[in-house]
Chains A and B, each alone.
Chain A
Amino acid sequence: MHILAVDDDPIILEILSAFVETMDDHEIVTAESVADALNIIEHQEKHFDCFLLDIQMPGTDGIEFCGILREMNAYLRTPIIMLTAMSEKSYIDKAFNAGATDYITKPFELNGLKGRLSLVEKIAIEARNTSSKLTNASPLRRNRDLVQQELNLHSPIPIFDVDGVIENHAMENYVTKLSRSELCGSVVIGFTIRHAADLFCNLSDFDFSCVITDVSEAISDCLLPAQRLVSYAGNGTYVAVVEGVTHIDLERLVNQMNRCIHAMELCTSDGMSLDVRICAGRPNRLVWRKGTAAVEALREAHISAEDAAEQLERELSCIWSTEMTA
């Protein structure tokens, strides 16, 4: 991978350069500030496949820079690993919300960094394919251009420009990164679009991806003012990690989301009106769940939402059934 590292500490940049030098498949360019980095990006012909960003820097900080990169079509999905001494949850939340892919706290083990780089390599390849399709595309054209690659119902679709919505792999890194105590006040909830498979079969890839994006916006907005991050996990299902809620009136929340979706007046490209509704699974408190157990909680939330949708359909079909009597 062609990596750009940005840190105001020259020693960190030297360590990273020395480290990358020992690996055959990576090369690194370094910058001591965001201004330098932007200058390098502007003048460098070769596309960067990965960014390593410090947070606390004079001038523009690493989180702001992360947001700037996500505004560029060339770096919409490129892996961004925050490499920072800021270990507080508020920084982790802001970084992932700004589009970070992963978060490593300093001091870091070089072997650990090697592992994280190999994990993002696959994402880097997908990101390069994405960016090559999007050269000079306006934000409105992004989704249309992106769905030229074939969609799969069960795979996560990247969602752009929706506040509080992050990519699915970033969500897994987010919950893995948080400590047990930080996850203690958080709840994970799955939401699923009812009849998502039917929608997927009946809609064009572009229309389906628009529905997925619009619904993500409704979910994310309705979870406010709580601190929340939402990701689309595929199969019409989203997972949300919500912080600081002691009690959730799930029925009211889902009703509010459905009203919000209804108010969006979703329709297909040829003007056909769409009736899209969601339902939610059982909220799952992340008490004492950390690392892989927290990732497992995301999976459970996903399953719970889809089970709830199936249950709802069974109950609805029962309303009109009559008891068979001899």
Chain B
Amino acid sequence: MQAGLAANLEPIRARFLKLLQERKAEIQHNLEVAAEAPDQADQALLNIAAVLHKIAGTAGTLGFEQLGTRAREIENLILEHNGDQSVQHSELYPVINAFLDQPLQAT
């Protein structure tokens, strides 16, 4: 089963990586919205959390554990800060930016 499964998963990994670029572009777009329009920042950050949620759900199974773990951490960070007025949104931006720049490592 293992060899057959690995062969079956290979094209899915390729599609995941292609989709990852689109998902990163979506995060980037929402990050820009959040930075430029503070009144839309809450929603933009929730959009980012939703994209990170999807990355975190599949990355580990496809062998990108580090990427998935980081996506989950940032998703949780955004959700914890959501609605908390004492936290500046701008504190989250460098963290999200670093995620976008994070080199991809397969495990």
B19 touches A11 (CB 8 A): yes
Known interface pairs A9-B58, A56-B53; A22-B65 also in contact (CB < 8 Å): no
A15 touches B61 (CB 8 A): yes
B8 touches A106 (CB 8 A): no
B57 touches A106 (CB 8 A): yes
Q: Select which of A9, A15, A18, A23 is within 8 A of B54 by beta carbon.
A: A9
Count chain B CB atoms within 10 A of each CB in A15, A23, A108, A110 and give the residue with the most. A15
* Cβ < 8 Å to A, chain B residues 39-68: 53-54, 56-62, 65, 68
Inter-chain CA distance A106–B54, complex, in Å, is 10
In the complex, what residue of chain B is closest to A108 when comparing beta carbons?
A: B61
User: CB-defined interface of B9-38 with A at 8 Å, one 1/0 digit per residue?
Assistant: 100100110010000000000000000000
Inter-chain CA distance A109–B61, complex, in Å, is 6
Inter-chain CA distance A164–B18, complex, in Å, is 44
Contacts of A9 in B (CB 8 A): 54, 57-58
Q: Select which of B1, B4, B58, B65 is within 8 A of A15 by beta carbon.
A: B58
Contacts of B9 in A (CB 8 A): 15, 18
Please report the number of residue pairs spanning A and B whose Cβ atoms sit closer than 8 angstroms. 55
Contacts of B70 in A (CB 8 A): none
Known interface pairs A56-B53, A107-B65; A19-B5 also in contact (CB < 8 Å): yes
Contacts of B54 in A (CB 8 A): 9, 11
A107 touches B12 (CB 8 A): no
Contacts of A15 in B (CB 8 A): 9, 12, 58, 61-62
Inter-chain CA distance A316–B39, complex, in Å, is 71
Q: Number of B interface residues, CB 8 Å?
A: 21
In the complex, what residue of chain A is closest to B3 when comparing beta carbons?
A: A22
Contacts of B68 in A (CB 8 A): 107
Inter-chain CA distance A318–B62, complex, in Å, is 67
Inter-chain CA distance A11–B15, complex, in Å, is 8
Q: Select which of B1, B15, B58, B61 is within 8 A of A22 by beta carbon.
A: B1
> Within 8 Å of chain B (Cβ to Cβ): is A12?
yes
User: CB-defined interface of A85-109 with B at 8 Å, one 1/0 digit per residue?
Assistant: 1000000000000000000001111
Inter-chain CA distance A246–B62, complex, in Å, is 43
> Within 8 Å of chain B (Cβ to Cβ): is A21?
yes
B1 touches A107 (CB 8 A): no
> Within 8 Å of chain B (Cβ to Cβ): is A14?
yes
Identify 10 residue pairs between A and B in the complex whose beta-carbon atoms are under 8 Å apart, listed by A's number: A14-B12, A14-B15, A18-B8, A18-B9, A19-B5, A85-B56, A106-B57, A107-B68, A110-B5, A110-B61
Closest 10 CB pairs of A and B: A107-B60, A18-B8, A106-B57, A22-B4, A107-B61, A11-B58, A22-B1, A85-B57, A22-B5, A14-B12
